[in-house]
Amino acid sequence: NVDQTVDFSEFTLFIGQQATGKSLMMQLFYFFRSLRYLVAAKASEEEVSRGKNELVRSLLDRLRRGIVRERSRAFAALVEGTVKLAYTPPTGGEKWRLSISGGTLRTTVFRKSPLLTLLRDWTSGQSWRERGQKKLPALYVPAERSFYSRYLNAGAGVLSSPELPLTMLTFTDAIERAKQTYQSWTDGIPPTPEGQKIWYLAKKALAGEAYIPTHGPKLWKWRTPQGKILDLEMASSGQMEAWPLVLIAASLFSWRNEGLLDDNFYLCIEEPETHLHPAAQVAMVELLAYLVNQGFNVVVTTHSLTVLYALNNLLVASDLGDYEEEKIPQLEVRLRRGQVGVYFCSPDGEVVELVDEETGLIPEGQLAAVDEALDTQLNRLEFLRAYGTTGKRNV
């Protein structure tokens, strides 16, 4: 019953404990932002023929669980009572509204919403699929990125099962397009200076790179800085998690030059820090900040205190103007106050904006609380070890 609003910034971050709705918030944003694209690219003839309410419900259900039949696996099963959602497109105008009822597992488009009219327009006539949105408005990068590293060489069919969520299917499409983009690069080097910046930053942070040999089967391999060649599946878990994101990030500049991306493109990423050493986490934050400074929008979920520390350093570094030295963030990755929005998803369902109004920085207390509790626990353990449970010093 609480009205809550999230304003998406150039760099938007969601933090919070497990199962507090971080990914859910990002998925809903991705759903609204990409709805026309999803209808044109992923909706089946059967889904379209059922009616507009059913089409929206079906796509919502597929967002997290793939094609489903059981209502217990429906998107609305996540909702207690009734939740009303509203999304204001970047172009302004009326809001797109949905009402999700968890009790009856129904999803109903508000009757007064222009979304119904838009859906009718988008799916009218025989060529509705061809007339769909041509430019990619957003891309969702799921947490299961090592899944792609393990199965990319098995062929696209393994990664295109309708049982997979829409977020994974659309990412599969992007990976397949990125493979074609990579194969157009000379010697595996991005043709744009921005893409090269991404590629070399990631190569250093991940201690290697993925590549496709010029001779033999066109399969992805992993190459270490020492020149050792491994099957991609033999890379470390952190390398397998991060590499698909790096490939996409480096390809974005070529795609933008080719007119394949919406002018207000959003990259939505679940936990970019997964399985990475803290130093590599910092590098990933700088990589994403670089994308933001190159005109892309980034939305991220995270459990990493290192990510918050790194973001705050990028914000503070912007106070130095053009001054640079080796041990501080470089100009091209620094972020200004106002570019970053951070939201805390609490266990009771509230979504609270965290950026401090005075400093423009991110309070770290929500993620640091666990470290502080462990420190307090250690002090207590040291006391008990020294004095025992009686309070008398042990000899």
Q: Specify the residue for token string 């939305």.
A: 299
pLDDT value at residue 385: 86
Q: Nearest to residue 151, comparing CAs of 187, 182, 176, 183?
A: 176
pLDDT value at residue 149: 87
Mean pLDDT per 10-residue interval, the chain, length 395 residues: 86 95 95 94 90 89 77 75 87 83 72 86 84 89 90 77 89 94 95 96 96 91 95 94 96 97 96 96 98 98 96 96 95 96 92 92 88 91 85 62
Q: Specify the residue for token string 């172009």.
A: 91
The CA distance from 166 to 40, in Å, is: 13
pLDDT value at residue 105: 58
pLDDT value at residue 37: 94
What DSSP designation does 326 have? Answer: T
DSSP calls for 107-126: EEE-TT-HHHHHHHHHT-ST
What DSSP designation does 288 have? Answer: H
Q: Nearest to residue 299, comparing CAs of 336, 277, 270, 260?
A: 270
The CA distance from 313 to 335, in Å, is: 9
**Which residue type is seen at 106?**
R
The answer to whether residues 343 and 25 touch, using CB atoms and an 8 Å cutoff, is yes
**Which residue type is seen at 381?**
L
Angle (CA) 231 206 283, round 5°: 155
Residue 12: beta bridge partners? Answer: 299, 341
The CA distance from 30 to 28, in Å, is: 5
Q: What dihedral do alpha carbons 27, 180, 150, 290 form, nearest 10°?
A: -50
pLDDT value at residue 70: 61
- pTM score: 0.94
**251: which 2 tokens?**
């390809």
- Interacting residues of 177 by C-beta distance below 8 A, sequence separation 6+: 251, 255
Q: Nearest to residue 130, comparing CAs of 141, 140, 138, 122?
A: 122
pLDDT value at residue 170: 94
The answer to whether residues 238 and 273 touch, using CB atoms and an 8 Å cutoff, is no
The answer to whether residues 267 and 139 touch, using CB atoms and an 8 Å cutoff, is yes
